[in-house]
Amino acid sequence: MSGRKRIQVDQSEWYRIQSQARQLRRVQREVPQLIDAVRRQTSADLDRAFARVERRQAQHDALVGRLSEQTRQLEADTARRLKQQAAEVRGELAACAGQIREETRQRLAEQQERVRREIASERAERRAETARLSARFDVIDQDRAQAGQLVKTWLSDARAMTEAIAGAGLHERYAPGELDRLTARLATAEQSATQGRFDAALAMAQDTYHSLSELRAETEQRELARCTARMEAIDALTTVEKEIEGSLSRPVLDPDGVPVDGSTVDVDYWSRGGLGLLREETANGLARARDDRTGTDELRLLRAQEAPRLEEALGDTVERACLRHLASQTRVNLADAVVQALGRTAYYEFVDGEYRGSDPRGTYYAKLAHENGNEIVLAISQTGPDSGRHVVQVLSYDHDITAEAQLQERAEAISRALADEGHPVSGAPASEPGAPDRKLLDIRSQRQGSARPAEGGA
């Protein structure tokens, strides 16, 4: 005779509650409240990122005013293009905050590439024009004082550009060693001028100046690309951050999938801290995106890989939490179905019920008693963490002598009752070896978690 009967509930009930949980995992990315929250959160980042761009632009404007007439117009045109480009990028990022899509990123990339080509083309023309003018300049036929002054002017402009590039500091990130190489060439040109070799000095000074100017324009554009990637990463990760904040609780669904008024699921609790871990990961990602040491490639990975991964993990976490909550309620429903069945067929009455340790994420125990002193404890758990099946253990504590056939008949009646309540079972009830643990009769001990969990309990 076995007082331990095991009834395994079919997966169909699990599939039903899984469907309900999936309804709650969906993140509403287009809701105005979310977009507005992201826009407010990222506006300060946008201001900080482009304040540096604007500060360098102002410094360059001051530099242009110190240049000679021969280079001033070229630098003014380049500065104008770079300012316009930065303003357009900033406006686009501000307008699309909270909803930067692939087409927006593609449009920004194409715009930056177009401006880069335009500046490069214009500079190539100016470089060629300088070379043509220099070819006509015959140092031998000209007054050497005039030649010396022309070389001095180009050297002065080149020195001013060198100082501007060094002050901006972008060359160290995007072209390490290039400024040193050009500075060495400039020193060679100065040495040639000192020796009176104005023809060699002029050619080298002009070429070095153009290379310096191109270096400055190229590093500025690459920094603008980094700023763009930075804001895209911040925008994507802030969106996830706000989605997490909006996922702290989810509505409880009734059997028909309709939210129950006033009832919510604490997602962090039911995910066993999973939501909190996602918040930490997202915060770490944002810290990397805001770190000025983070390069363009890493920023793009944060936007293209890390943010989508976190968002997918958020959906999984919400679904898992809601699934566990629904499964917890299912354990109570299973207990209720058994209580009703035993009340009708054997006149048992419900005495008390409790989750182990008062933790609704684990095994549920229900105690029933008969007027003749016989008692039954139901231990209802999942076969494994987040598994697709529940197990109902019927633990009988009978004072009179009960035949195995009667215990089996009781278990089969419970199986039929569960099926009638929409909880189909898998196979016939199975007997388990050993006598039921009498400590489980003390339902109050479950509230402190002192009783041993039933086999297979969550």
Nearest to 114, CA basis, from 81, 162, 146: 81
Tokens for 443, please give them: 């339902």
The answer to whether residues 77 and 122 touch, using CB atoms and an 8 Å cutoff, is yes
The residue count for the chain = 458
pLDDT at 167 over 80: yes
pLDDT digits (tens, 9 = 90+) for 213-257: 999 999 999 999 999 999 999 999 999 999 999 889 888 766 666
CA distance 212 to 208: 6
pLDDT digits (tens, 9 = 90+) for 168-204: 999 999 999 999 999 999 999 999 999 988 888 988 9
| Phi, psi values for residue 353, rounded to 5° | -145, 150
pLDDT at 14 over 60: no
| C-alpha torsion sign, points 292, 294, 299, 305 | negative
pLDDT category at 120 given cuts 50, 70, 90 is confident
The answer to whether residues 236 and 309 touch, using CB atoms and an 8 Å cutoff, is no
Residues 429-434 have a mean pLDDT of 77
pLDDT digits (tens, 9 = 90+) for 24-60: 555 555 577 778 888 888 888 989 988 999 999 998 8
Instruction: Give the burial class of 288: count Cβ atoms within 10 A of its Cβ; 0-12 exposed, 13-18 middle, 19 or more buried.
Output: middle
CA distance 164 to 157: 11
pLDDT category at 3 given cuts 50, 70, 90 is low
The answer to whether residues 447 and 358 touch, using CB atoms and an 8 Å cutoff, is yes
Mean pLDDT across the chain, nearest whole number? 83
Residues 103-128 have a mean pLDDT of 77
Q: Which amino acid is it at 187?
A: A
Higher pLDDT, 301 or 127: 301
Give the chain's domains with CATH numbers: 4-16+327-447 (3.30.70), 32-240 (no CATH)
CA distance 72 to 422: 84
What does 228-256 look like in DSSP terms, one character per residue?
A: HHHHHHHHHHHHHHHHHHTTSEEEEE-TT
CA distance 198 to 439: 104
The top-scoring range by mean pLDDT among 72-86, 200-214, 296-310 is: 296-310
pLDDT at 341 over 90: no
**Residues of the chain with pLDDT > 90: what percent?**
33
CA distance 313 to 316: 5
Q: How many CB atoms within 10 Å of residue 28?
A: 9
pLDDT at 433 over 90: no
